Structure formats: C-alpha cells, structure tokens
Amino acid sequence: MAVKSEHSPRLGVDITKKLKGFELEIAFEAGVGCLGILGPSGCGKSMTLKSIAGIETPGAGRIALQYASGEAACGRVLYDSRLKVNLRPQERRVGYLFQSYALFPNMTVEENIMTGLSGKYFRGGNKTPAGRREVAESMMKRFCLEGLGKRYPCQLSGGQQQRVALARILAYEP
C-alpha cells in the first residue's frame, strides 16, 4: 500500500524516440508506489527507464517530477526538448540498477559501495574517507553484507552482488 502525502512526487513522462524499426511513443504519470512497465523484448522498456535516469536521451518530449504542496505546486524538469533542458544523470538524483549490476571487478564490496560518495552531487554529509567508509558500513549492514567488505564481486553469489549494487545506489541518496 502506498502512502500519499501532500508532498508526494509525481513523475510525468511524455517522450518519443526512434528505435530499430519503429518510433517509441510513451506517456504516463506515476505517483508514490510501484509501477510496472511490461512489454515484449525490444519494445523500449529499458530505453524508457534509461531516459528517466538520463543515461539515454529521447528524441523529443518531456520528463518531469511534480511536487504538490498544499495550494502550490512546484516541479523539476529532467528533460524537455522544447525548452532544451537535459539534466545530467548525476543532477537527476535517480537511482538505476543495471541488469548486470555493473560492479567494478577490481574493487572490493566496500569500495564499490563508496564509489560516487565524494562527488559534488553526493548529498550526504561527510565526504572524508572515514565518512564514506561509515556510509558503506551502514549500507553493508542494511543489506546483510556484513563481513564481506573486503571481498571482490567474483567472490560473491549473484544475490550478494545484486545487494551490493543496490547498496551502492542507495548510498548515493538518489
């Protein structure tokens, strides 16, 4: 059950993009809660999600977050072809979990989670090495990865790798 408040965000997507053999046209609004995007292989599901995250650029259209607060409404445009707005992925604050998890094989679990915690788009407080390590430890505890911080991705099960990838996304505070 989704909990709605007067400050709940709404995602609005209305985009088009030429793909192999067809032009994708997708428009929807989503509020708090789960949203499923279903369709056959190659129909544009991943492209839609990558467009929201800023990894892909649509051909035209608009992607925006709207916040209603009492009588006033405000929003944040992530992409608008007419207004020539296309925020970089880091500026969008959208977490995207790749199907292959995209873990760095040469980094430990702890290092993978700490990736991105020192950039200018990281909202967290302490960007020192100790502060970043503290965030990583907190995420490892949250995702039942305690004791695995010094292991490499190849030393983990598929489920553990998936949890590391999710911990890395949420450590960034999207």
Gap between the Cα atoms of 162 and 68, Å rounded:
34
* Tens digits of pLDDT across the chain (174 residues): 344 445 567 899 999 999 888 899 999 998 877 778 888 888 888 899 999 999 999 999 999 988 765 555 678 899 999 999 999 988 887 877 777 788 999 999 999 999 877 666 566 666 788 888 998 999 999 999 999 999 999 999 999 999 999 999 888 777
Asked whether residue 40 falls in the same domain as residue 83, the answer is yes
Count Cβ atoms below 10 Å from residue 114 Cβ, excluding itself.
20
Range of the domain at 132: 109-171
Asked whether residue 67 falls in the same domain as residue 130, the answer is no
SS3 90: helix
Asked whether residue 63 falls in the same domain as residue 134, the answer is no
DSSP track, 102-116: ---TTS-HHHHHHTT
Q: What is the pLDDT of residue 3?
A: 43
DSSP track, 31-75: -SS-------TTSSHHHHHHHHHTSS--SEEEEEEEEEETTEEEE
pTM of the model: 0.67
Gap between the Cα atoms of 103 and 72, Å rounded:
41
The reply to whether 4 falls in a domain is: no
Q: Which residue type sits at 140?
A: M
Q: What is the pLDDT of residue 4?
A: 47
Asked whether residue 87 falls in the same domain as residue 128, the answer is no
The reply to whether 70 falls in a domain is: yes
SS3 77: strand
